[in-house]
């Protein structure tokens, strides 16, 4: 068990190293650079060349990577080419809103999806199972922006109960800001997650060891929560890591509609202005988060069902 | 004699199909009652009725009383049935090792059962001792996957014993055990009965039943057909041998699991089979028997040593010519996976004759049907897809498939594990005929008694090495190596103490009780 955790963590470190190279390489592939984009209108080609030199953009890629990676390791994500301020500030400012949104969504999704998944799984193909399946599938099939627009139209414009955007709002003073974005994000995540829990529950209920536990007289409720759930949760936990990933990446549509100053917005802005240090930093943060989430999911699964580690 | 479970006029019906018809039997404290019959004869359905359990859409009627609780009456399963599960009747499934929850520590489940059924008593510790597991804290904190297969069975037994049931139901406990372990099992079950458990043993292993059971119920197609075991057939005979030239010669055969000789599993085995003669290979599970067979068949490529067929080198299977393929045929143990699920079995059997001997489809099919019929698999059964055949029927179909190649060397790896005595006799009869026609046989098995009785020469394998070899009769009567002696003792389970009695061979019935489809 412990050795599994150690092995898995070591793997994560390797993944992290590979990842940082990839992030750097991919962002370098973006056509044009900051010098091009900012000043082509006003500067002569020689001046652009000088600026490029000044920004260090004329160095070979390997050297730039070494420089960048060294800085990252010391916690310095560099300076924005556009605003001139430290990249760390930009990351911090954009991560906050996304993090709150993600946590709020997961706090609702996890219990809801587990409950629905178990309900459906224990009544496989029953009326309740089919009803819930239809509803969640339908919700996940409707595009985010449609749900968002409808919700805004109904609850903000018509009824006036909830704010339509985050502009001028502050999360600390008005948490109601969260209600509509979270509602939009729920649809698909609940569907995906509950289906995984459902499948896990059905699989586990059919397992020999559950039949045996029932025959040895373990009462139903205990059977469900102590014997079935840990096994049934495994696919759910893996799906949860993926969901967390997506949510942290910031769901662009939701951020755009509700004017949330989040991660996706910051990333798109940085790409548009070829602000490479910011793009790299944001991508790296996201990648690290994804890595950690998956590490956490694997360790959790291994804790729940130790054998699952051996199956890899 | 205290009756702990009473079954009267039990019937199980699913729609119009009758699974169990008017079955009655009792289970007595401290004694073994055996339900005997082929798979599909209603053993498991009858036994699960003690738990008040039946499959979806199955209706139980009759009267089943366990302890003082009526679990089945004329209206079906009663509401009181739930309370007997575990506490009064504990059921051990056929492969108990897979009945352990991978997410739960072994100790947690034992403690849970103790709290559920006997709070305040330390029954779990006692059960662990009775199941011969170490009861220290470390063991109890382990997960099922951290135990070996054999230990997992003990853990499952400890779970059942922790419930301190009055009736212990054991479903085919000897399946897949080698003969030494099987003897051990028989002794342990005797001990359990001695401790006062009423044991209901479901088995088609007649030797085990003969050894243990005080009461016998023979089932066939859901009905009780008797209370005595079918007569034991005289062990099959090897048939006349006319050893000719050496056909298959293996010298210094070694094999390993990983490349370049790492993790070796077979060491310097020499083996020669002459045409018209047979060699037996015996050993416990894991001794390297199957690896040896796979080396001879050319399936195990991580091997060294010399393999000659008729004096010419025999390469690994991939590099063999079609003629070499035809001349060396291998029938292995797990046959179900070797059949295409979607095609009729007889077609697949006929295919060897078409491919390897160039026979026309019609002719090949006729031969296939004839060979299958000789082995007791009717043409009607063989025209079905493999999933509709029982394990025993498929084993015989796999043999027929190999025989249709008219091989010079036939390697048979545990080909009678799923067969009863009659089926085994049919198989031995066919193989003797092949031998008389000059085929060289390699017969692999864990049961020394059977292997020695059908072969001329026996090798005993242990941990990948040949520990003893010699003429079969000599090995049976004067075993030299310690393992051989244990195998000889184990081979006598359920039979009279030595020497095995020579009864006149009863005219055996060719209708095979095991030839119903699995479902």
Indicate which CATH number applies to the domain containing B452: 3.40.50.300
CATH number for the domain that contains residue A262: 1.10.3720.10
- Please tell me the predicted confidence (pLDDT) of residue A307: 65
Residues from chain B contacting residue A208 (CB–CB below 8 Å): 93, 95, 98-99
* Chain B, nearest residue to A212 by Cα: B99
- B390, exposed or middle or buried, with CB in 10 Å at 0-12, 13-18, 19+? buried
Residues of A in contact with B67 (CB under 8 A): none
For residue B293, give its domain range: 246-337+405-491
Convert the pLDDT of each residue in B6-53 to its tens digit: 999 999 998 888 889 999 999 999 999 999 887 678 888 899 999 988
Q: Determine the residue of chain A that is closest to B160 in CA distance.
A: A216
Name which of B51, B101, B112 is nearest A209 (Cβ-Cβ): B101
Q: Which residue of B has its CA nearest to A230?
A: B103
Q: Mind listing the pLDDT tens digit for each residue in A204-242?
A: 988 889 999 999 989 988 998 889 988 888 888 888 888
Mean pLDDT within A188-213: 89
Answer yes or no: do B220 and B286 share one domain. no
Q: Which residues of B touch A (CB under 8 A)?
A: 51, 53, 82-87, 90-91, 93, 95-96, 98-104, 109, 112-113, 116-117, 143-146, 156, 159-160, 163
Residue A37 lies in a domain: no
Q: Is residue B398 part of a domain?
A: no
Domain assignment present for A149: yes
A217 to B104: CB separation less than 8 angstroms, yes or no: no
- C-alpha–C-alpha distance, residues A190 and A197, integer Å: 10
Whether residue A28 is contained in a domain is answered as no
Query: Is the residue at B498 inside a domain?
Result: no
Mean pLDDT across the stretch B360-383? 92
Rounded Cα distance, A214 and A2, in Å: 32
pLDDT band, residue A168 (cuts 50/70/90): low
Q: Say if A188 falls within a structural domain.
A: yes
CB contact under 8 A, B90 and A306: no
The secondary structure of residue B85, as a DSSP letter, is: B
pLDDT greater than 60 at residue B515: no
ipTM, interface predicted TM-score of the complex: 0.74
- Which of B85, B95, B98 faces A217 most closely, judged by CB atoms? B85
Beta-carbon contacts of A239 under 8 Å, excluding residues fewer than 6 positions away, are A192, A193, A196
* Mean pLDDT, range B348-370, rounded to an integer: 93
Interface test with chain B among A212, A224, A229, A235, by most B beta carbons within 10 Å? A212
Contact A217 B117 (CB under 8 A): yes
- Partners of A231 on chain B (C-beta within 8 Å) are 101-103
Supply the angle between the helices A127-141 and A87-122 in degrees, to the nearest 10.
150
Is position B359 within any domain? no
Chain B residues with CB-CB distance to A226 below 8 A = 104, 112
Taking CB atoms and an 8 Å limit, are A306 and B103 in contact across chains?
yes
Domain that holds residue A128: 93-271
pLDDT of residue A33: 60
Nearest to A208 among B51, B93, B146 (CB): B93
**If you average pLDDT over each of A38-52, A154-168, B359-373, B375-389, which comes out highest?**
B359-373
pLDDT tens digit sequence for A64-77: 788 778 877 777 77
In a domain, A141, yes or no: yes
Count how many domains chain A has. Answer: 1
- How far is it, in rounded angstroms, from Cα A25 to Cα A18? 11
Same domain, yes or no: B219 and B312? no
Are residues B11 and B86 located together in one domain of the fold?
yes
Give the pairing type, strands B32-36 and B215-220. Answer: parallel
Is there a contact between A276 and A80 (Cβ–Cβ < 8 Å)?
Answer: no
Chain A residue with the nearest C-alpha to that of B97 = A209
Q: Is A309 on the interface with B (CB under 8 A)?
A: no
Number of domains present in the structure of chain B: 2
Contact across the interface for A215 and B85, Cβ inside 8 Å = yes
Contacts of B95 in chain A (CB under 8 A): 208
Would you say B377 and B335 are in contact if contact means Cβ atoms under 8 Å apart?
A: no
Are residues B324 and B185 part of one domain?
no
Chains A, B: CB contacts within 8 A come to 77
Candidates A201, A207, A211, A215, partner chain B, best to mutate (most B CBs within 10 A): A215
Average of per-residue pLDDT across B372-393: 88
Average model confidence (pLDDT) across chain B: 86
Structure confidence at residue B506 (pLDDT): 39
Q: Please report whether residue A176 resides in a domain.
A: yes
B69-113, pLDDT tens digit by residue? 899 998 888 888 888 888 899 999 887 877 899 889 999 999 999
Which of B83, B104, B160 is closest, CB to CB, to A216?
A: B160
Mark yes or no for CB contact A211/B101 under 8 Å.
no
Of residues B53, B116, B145, nearest to A215 (C-beta)? B53
- Measured between CB atoms, does A206 come within 8 Å of chain B? no
Closest approach of A199 to chain B, Cα-based (Å):
17
More confidently predicted of B344 and A166: B344
B443 and B312 in a common domain: yes
A310 touches chain B (CB under 8 A): yes
Sign of CA dihedral B114, B117, B119, B123: negative
Q: Does some domain include residue A208?
A: yes
- Confidence category of residue B519, pLDDT binned at 50, 70, 90: very low
Q: Shortest Cα distance from A19 to chain B (angstroms)?
A: 33
Do B107 and B20 share a structural domain?
A: yes
- If you average pLDDT over residues A86-114, what whole number do you get? 86
Same domain (yes/no): B160, B121: yes
Q: Answer yes or no: is B96 within a domain.
A: yes
Nearest to B145 among A212, A227, A306 (CB): A306
- What residues form DSSP beta bridges with A86? A79
Q: Who among B87, B101, B145 is closest to A227 (CB)? A: B101
Residues in B touching A304 (Cβ below 8 Å)? 103
Query: Sheet of B264-274: strands edge to edge?
Result: B264-274, B246-256, B303-309, B312-313
Instruction: Find the helix packing angle between B106-117 and B149-162, rounded to 10°.
Output: 20
Strand arrangement of the beta sheet that strand B328-331 belongs to = B328-331, B409-413, B440-445, B278-282, B457-462, B465-471
The region of weakest confidence among A181-190, A195-204, B248-257, B365-374 is A181-190
Domain assignment present for residue B384? The answer is no
Is the Cβ pair A212, B99 closer than 8 Å?
A: yes
Please indicate, yes or no, whether residues B222 and B277 belong to a single structural domain of this protein. Answer: no
- Sign of the Cα pseudo-torsion (A99, A105, A108, A113, in order): negative
With cut-offs at 50, 70 and 90, classify the pLDDT of residue A111.
very high
Give the best residue of B90, B103, B123, B127 to mutate against chain A (max A CB count within 10 A): B103
- Name the minimum distance, in Å, from the CA of A216 to any CA of chain B: 4
> What pLDDT is recorded for position B136?
85
Question: B416 and B410 in contact (C-beta within 8 Å)?
Answer: no
| Same-domain status, B178 and B281 | no
Burial environment of residue A25 by CB neighbours within 10 A (0 to 12, 13 to 18, 19 or more) = exposed
Domain membership flag for residue A231: yes
Question: B443 pLDDT exceeds 90?
Answer: yes
């Amino acid at each position: 068990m412990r050795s599994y955790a150690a092995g898995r963590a070591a793997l994560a470190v390797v993944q992290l190293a590979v990842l940082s190279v990839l992030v750097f390489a991919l962002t370098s592939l973006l056509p044009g650079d900051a010098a091009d984009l900012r000043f082509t209108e006003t500067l002569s080609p020689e001046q652009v060349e000088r600026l490029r030199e000044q920004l260090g953009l004329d160095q070979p890629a390997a050297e730039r990577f070494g420089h960048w990676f060294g800085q990252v390791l010391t916690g310095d994500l560099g300076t924005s080419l556009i605003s001139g301020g430290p990249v760390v500030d930009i990351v911090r400012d954009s991560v906050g809103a996304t993090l709150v949104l993600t946590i709020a969504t997961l706090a609702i999704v996890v219990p809801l999806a587990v409950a629905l998944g178990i309900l459906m799984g224990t009544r496989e193909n029953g009326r309740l199972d089919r009803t819930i399946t239809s509803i969640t599938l339908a919700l996940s099939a409707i595009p985010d922006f449609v749900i968002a627009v409808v919700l805004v139209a109904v609850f903000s414009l018509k009824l006036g109960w909830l704010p339509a955007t985050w502009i001028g709002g502050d999360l600390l003073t008005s948490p109601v800001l969260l209600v509509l974005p979270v509602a939009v994000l729920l649809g698909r995540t609940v569907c995906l997650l509950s289906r995984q829990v459902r499948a896990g529950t059905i699989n586990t209920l059919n397992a020999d060891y559950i039949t045996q536990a029932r025959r040895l007289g373990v009462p139903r409720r205990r059977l469900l929560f102590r014997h079935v759930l840990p096994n049934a949760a495994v696919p759910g936990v893996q799906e949860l890591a993926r969901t967390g990933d997506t949510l942290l990446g910031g769901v662009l549509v939701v951020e755009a509609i509700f004017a949330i100053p989040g991660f996706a917005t910051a990333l798109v802005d940085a790409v548009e202005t070829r602000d490479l240090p910011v793009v790299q930093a944001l991508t790296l943060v996201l990648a690290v988060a994804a890595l950690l989430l998956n590490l956490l999911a694997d360790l959790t699964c291994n804790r729940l069902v130790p054998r699952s580690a051996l199956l890899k | 004699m205290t009756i702990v479970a009473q079954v009267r006029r039990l019937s199980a019906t699913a729609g119009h199909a009758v699974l169990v018809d008017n079955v009655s039997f009792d289970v007595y404290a401290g004694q073994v009652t055996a339900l005997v019959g082929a798979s599909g004869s209603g053993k498991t359905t009858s036994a699960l009725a003690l738990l008040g359990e039946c499959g979806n859409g199955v209706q139980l009627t009759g009267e089943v009383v366990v302890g003082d609780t009526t679990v089945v009456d004329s209206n079906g399963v009663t509401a009181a049935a739930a309370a007997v599960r575990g506490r009064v009747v504990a059921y051990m499934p056929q492969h108990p090792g897979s009945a352990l929850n991978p997410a739960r520590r072994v100790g947690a489940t034992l403690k849970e059962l103790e709290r559920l059924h006997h709070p305040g008593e330390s029954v779990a510790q006692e059960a662990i001792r009775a199941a011969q597991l170490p009861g220290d804290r470390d063991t109890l904190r382990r997960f099922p996957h951290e135990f070996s297969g054999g230990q997992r069975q003990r853990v499952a037994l400890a779970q059942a014993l922790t419930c301190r049931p009055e009736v212990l139901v054991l479903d085919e406990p000897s399946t897949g055990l080698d003969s030494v372990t099987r003897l051990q099992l028989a002794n342990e079950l005797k001990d359990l009965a001695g401790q006062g458990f009423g044991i209901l043993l479901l088995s088609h292993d007649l030797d085990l039943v003969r050894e243990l059971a005080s009461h016998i119920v023979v089932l066939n197609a859901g009905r009780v057909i008797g209370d005595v075991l079918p007569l034991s057939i005289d062990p099959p005979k090897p048939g006349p041998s006319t050893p000719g030239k050496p056909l298959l010669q293996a010298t210094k055969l070694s094999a390993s699991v990983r490349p370049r000789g790492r993790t070796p599993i077979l060491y310097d085995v020499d083996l020669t089979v002459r045409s018209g003669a047979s060699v037996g290979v015996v050993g416990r599970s894991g001794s390297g028997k199957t690896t040896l067979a796979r080396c001879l068949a050319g399936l195990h490529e991580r091997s060294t040593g010399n393999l000659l067929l008729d004096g010419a080198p025999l390469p690994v299977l991939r590099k063999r010519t079609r003629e070499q393929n035809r001349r060396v045929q291998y029938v292995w143990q797990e046959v179900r996976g070797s059949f295409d699920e979607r095609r009729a079995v007889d077609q697949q059997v006929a295919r060897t004759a078409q491919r390897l001997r160039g026979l026309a489809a019609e002719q090949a099919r006729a031969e296939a049907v004839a060979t299958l019929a000789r082995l007791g698999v009717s043409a009607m059964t063989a025209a079905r897809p493999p999933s509709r055949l029982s394990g025993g029927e498929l084993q015989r179909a796999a043999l027929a498939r190999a025989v249709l190649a008219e091989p010079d060397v036939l390697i048979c790896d545990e080909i009678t594990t799923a067969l009863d005595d009659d089926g085994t006799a049919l198989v031995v009869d066919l193989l003797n005929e092949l031998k008389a026609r000059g085929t060289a046989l390699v017969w692999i098995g864990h049961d020394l008694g059977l292997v020695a009785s059908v072969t001329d020469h026996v090798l005993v394998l242990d941990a990948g090495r040949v520990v003893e070899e010699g003429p079969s009769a000599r090995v049976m009567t004067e075993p030299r190596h310690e393992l051989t002696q244990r195998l000889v003792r184990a081979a006598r389970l359920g039979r009279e103490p030595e020497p095995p009695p020579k009864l006149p061979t009863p005219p055996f019935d060719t209708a095979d009780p095991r030839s119903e489809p699995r479902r």
